[in-house]
Amino acid sequence: MDSNLRPRRSALYLPASNAKAIVKARTLACDVVILDLEDAVAPDRKDEAREAAVAAVNAGGFGHREVAIRVNGLDTPWGAADLAAIAGSLADAVVVPKVNGPEDIVAYQKALGAAPAALQLWAMIETCRSVGNLPQIAAMADTTRLSLWIMGTNDLAKEMRAQLTLCRTPFLPFLSMAVAAARAHGIAILDGVCNEFRDLDVFETEVRQGLMFGFDGKSLIHPAQIEPCNTAFSPSEAELARANAVIAAFALPENAGKGAIQVEGKMAELLHLEQAQRLLAVFERIEATR
């Protein structure tokens, strides 16, 4: 499956130390499961959580879901051991925290050593330094395992001393810049978590904002957030109808070789044809997971 077309609408964080949560994750409708060794695990349970995460991914049973493990940073007492353990596991990806610049990607790439080529490197964009180095970090995808970014808006808010409100006004420039930098180098990108999991109206508002910015999906902190997130990041019936109409119109003999045509009273160019084809390809892959 083309990684750029793989559905990653919903990426659920789970503490790797919570055995019941990991069992439940195998039945949830999320596209990605992220077993967390970092923020969600107390220092005295780090080693236990690492063993549990590796055992879980090696045991399998997650079906179509990608399974990633978020490690502790290399500047912590646990980071090197986390990476060494995951390098020999069946995880789909390793999520690395607080990347500041391209040198951090180099360090994590080196720490993974001779891990299988299929093991992806996913980076958290969550520091003030990182938002000043977005193009340079993204360019590392050309020569390393780096394939996906996850925005860490909570940590970014902490560093900036900014208010993380519903509209996320202080972070809007960074969100759009991150999407643009990621797209420039073929990196998938997920929006940061929404801390509100009881009020799904608030959550859906933030999801729609992320969709507007062009994110592939969103990272989540609670199973209740999965369904509305999947719905928002799936093509709507109207979008599918428009895509099919554009593709059908360009396929007509009278439109052969044209760069712009009229479809249902609207202008459609070749770029719209490419967008329509991609949307249908993503939809087919979503349907395959049902």
Q: Which amino acid makes up residue 163?
A: Q
CATH number of residue 38's parent domain? 3.20.20.60
* Mean pLDDT confidence for 55-81: 97
Residues 48 and 150 in one domain: yes
Between the alpha carbon of residue 148 and those of residues 28, 80, 120, 233, the distances in Å are 22, 21, 8, 17
The answer to whether residue 3 is domain-embedded is no
Residue 35 CA to residue 86 CA, distance in Å, equals 11
CA angle centred on 125, ends 123 and 127, rounded to 5°: 130
Residue 16 CA to residue 45 CA, distance in Å, equals 10
pTM value is: 0.94
Tell me the backbone φ, ψ of residue 134, rounded to 5 degrees: -55, -50
Q: Are 196 and 172 in contact (CB under 8 A)?
A: no
70 a known binding residue? yes
Indicate the residue among 232, 256, 275 that finishes a domain: 232
**pLDDT value at 269 more than 70:** yes
* Mean pLDDT confidence for 58-74: 97
Residues 39 and 145 in one domain: yes
CA atoms within 13 A on the CB side of 182: 28
Structure-token pair, residue 46:
């780090």
Residue 288 CA to residue 209 CA, distance in Å, equals 27
Range of the domain at 222: 10-232
Question: Residue 153 — very low, low, confident or very high, per pLDDT cuts 50/70/90?
Answer: very high
Residues 272 and 194 in one domain: no
The answer to whether residue 4 is domain-embedded is no
Structure-token pair, residue 52:
């549990």
The answer to whether residue 120 is domain-embedded is yes
Indicate the residue among 232, 252, 272 that finishes a domain: 232
Structure-token pair, residue 184:
């420039």
pLDDT per residue as tens digits for the range 273-285: 999 999 999 999 9
CA angle centred on 168, ends 163 and 169, rounded to 5°: 90
> Number of structural domains, the chain?
2
**pLDDT value at 1 more than 50:** no
Which pLDDT value is given to residue 4?
Answer: 73
Tell me the Cα Rg of the chain. Answer: 20
- How confident is the prediction for the chain on average, in pLDDT? 95
Q: Are 124 and 97 in contact (CB under 8 A)?
A: yes
pLDDT per residue as tens digits for the range 159-207: 999 999 989 999 999 999 999 999 999 999 999 999 998 899 999 999 9
The H or E element that residue 52 is part of is helix 46-59
**pLDDT value at 5 more than 90:** no
Residues 44 and 134 in one domain: yes
pLDDT per residue as tens digits for the range 101-144: 999 999 999 999 999 999 999 999 999 999 999 999 999 999 99
Which pLDDT value is given to residue 185?
Answer: 97
DSSP 8-class letter at 133: S
The answer to whether residue 5 is domain-embedded is no
Partners of residue 120 on adjacent β-strands? 93
State the residue for tokens 């391209």: 102
Residues 227 and 274 in one domain: no
Which pLDDT value is given to residue 2?
Answer: 58
Between the alpha carbon of residue 216 and those of residues 2, 9, 172, 210, 219, the distances in Å are 14, 6, 16, 9, 10
Residues 44 and 126 in one domain: yes
pLDDT per residue as tens digits for the range 21-47: 999 999 999 999 999 999 889 999 999
Residues 187 and 270 in one domain: no
Which pLDDT value is given to residue 50?
Answer: 97
Q: Are 184 and 135 in contact (CB under 8 A)?
A: yes
Residues 208 and 116 in one domain: yes
Residues 171 and 201 in one domain: yes
Indicate the residue among 211, 232, 253 that finishes a domain: 232
155 a known binding residue? yes
Structure-token pair, residue 191:
């929006």
75 a known binding residue? no
Residues 211 and 241 in one domain: no
Residues 60 and 85 in one domain: yes
pLDDT per residue as tens digits for the range 198-241: 899 999 999 999 999 999 999 999 999 999 999 999 999 999 99
Residues 125 and 245 in one domain: no
- Residue 78, sorted as left (phi over 0), alpha (psi -120 to 50) or beta, turns out to be alpha
